[in-house]
Chains A and B, each alone.
Chain A
Amino acid sequence: MAYGIALHVWGEYALFTRPETKSERMSYEVITPSAARGILEAIHWKPAIRWFIDKLHILNPVCFDSIRRNELACKGSAQNALQAMKKSGPLHIAVEDVRQQRAALVLRRVAYVIEAHFELTDKAGPDDNEGKHLDIFNRRARTGQCFHRPCLGCREFPAHFSLLEGSLPPSQLADDAPRDLGWMLYDLDFAHNMQPIFYRPRLAGGVIDVADCLRRSGEARP
């Protein structure tokens, strides 16, 4: 853990969609390690490194809100685009024809501390060393730099962040009884055809020890 970082992130809304309720999206109660990794990667990432989430600190009480929106029922068709590209022809999606109203059960006023570290991958070249990437990440997080704006699950819910260099902010869940959060998505295994990996986090004193919970649940794959 010599190369660990701690990042404070917060936002007004968050939506960490449960894969089993993805049409009418329903959020997990807390951030997934996969979403946390995405936030770190929005600040700094290179193929030479891979982020691992160690601990997630949940600072605010879990609170839900419902939002229903008009959405598209389809994705763009690459086939149609290809045809329009080669020949002529109109290309558009008319929203009225393919409309769906979908509700989303989102989280309100979330704040987390992400504790993570990275390891060098086999793509690391001779110029890559831990110190360099750690410096880059810390420098960016400290000055608010990011490759793109990190988000809390969906892009319409942007995340604010600051590098945590002092003590941990107090968690409002610190005195709660330990709780089993059930099976949650841990991350997608991109090396194996994007297979999802699940784990069973335990929230104790406002903290999820991700690494430990993953070890205990034995990387469940469907």
Chain B
Amino acid sequence: MSALANRYEFVLLFDVENGNPNGDPDAGNLPRIDPETGCGLVTDVCLKRKIRNYVGLAKNGEEGFNIYIQEKAVLNQRHEQAYKACALEPDKNGKRLPKKAEDAARVTAWMCANFYDVRAFGAVMSTEINCGQVRGPVQLAFARSVEPIVPQEVSITRMAVTNEKDLEKERTMGRKAIVPYGLYRAEGYISAPFAEKTGFDENDLELLWEALRTMFEHDHSAARGKMSSRKLFVFKHANRLGNTPAHALFERVTVTRKGSGTVAGPARAFSDYDVQVRRDGLESVEILEKL
């Protein structure tokens, strides 16, 4: 498949129920909060991690869809096997590598061809030559909750102890922090010229939408609670460089509280929100609802 011919922007709405979407290592793993507004944050790298994990799971080491930056040893082993089974293609291009610059460029190209995350997000490889660095087409910003969140600390007990010397204590106490409910909004960009450089194609793009739709379904854990993708709006520009400023497109997606003004109280479900997208007066940009 050929590389992307269009620029894209996207808005992903996801929510969390009684869970911690992204812990802050500076705040004892409490949910991240913007100190100025009280809105919750989820970092770009947190979401990229989930996209990587999803692609790793969905493609199961299929050729060309390996994941370079991996999490968890179990995943590693599975990938090693898959790698051995699939990625053993003998090198077809040329015989010997004459120059170092060319060499580096080929390694970079090979990395892009084999690893989905390198193709999508880019990677830095430590060569003296600059072409060891790839900027991927997919760019994500911090996700932010629509309204301020109020994290809650929940104390829990464990009916067992870790060390023998603590045996008389019988139990240990722990804490987990949860957000009772939060609707988060993530915004992203996809550059067609960068896609050309890394070979990120239409197929990869579909996989990205799929990952954004379903990545939370495969990321359940005691800490996360119930997280789900709720809405995914995609802005497809006719032009590869774009037709409209990104901020003007993002402003078209508005999320408001239902019956605001009449009903008070904190939101506790996605149904408490009203999501609107303004479609009027838009030329050369298609709005796709992928979820």
Query: Which residue numbers of A lie inside 8 Å of B, CB to CB?
Result: 12-13, 65-72, 74-78, 81-82, 84-86, 88-96, 101, 103, 108, 140, 143-149, 151, 155-158, 160-162
Contacts and interface: CB of A to CB of B under 8 A. Distances in A.
26 contacts: A12-B142, A66-B26, A67-B26, A69-B25, A69-B45, A74-B126, A76-B68, A76-B125, A77-B125, A78-B104, A78-B125, A81-B111, A85-B107, A90-B84, A91-B68, A96-B73, A144-B244, A145-B241, A146-B241, A147-B241, A149-B246, A156-B139, A158-B189, A160-B245, A160-B246, A162-B245
Nearest to A108: B36
Nearest to A86: B91
Nearest to A11: B141
Interface in B36-52: 36, 43-45
A84 B248 CA distance: 45
Contact of A158 (B32, B70, B139): B139
A78 B26 contact: no
Contact of B126 (A12, A77, A84): A77
Interface in B114-141: 114, 123-127, 132, 135, 137, 139-141
Nearest to A92: B70
Interface residues of B, number: 60
B247 interface: yes
A149 B142 contact: no
B148 interface: no
A69 B25 CA distance: 7
A69 B45 CA distance: 8
B254 interface: no
Main secondary structure on B side of the interface with A: mixed
A184 B141 CA distance: 26
B124 A148 contact: no
Nearest to B141: A158
Contacts of B141: 12, 156-158
B283 to A, nearest CB: 11
Of B135, B193, B242, B248, most buried by chain A (CB within 10 Å of CB) is: B242
A145 B242 contact: yes
Contacts of A93: 68-70
Given A160-B246, A160-B247, A162-B245, A149 B70 contact: no
A156 B245 contact: no
Contacts of A156: 43-45, 139-142
Nearest to B131: A78
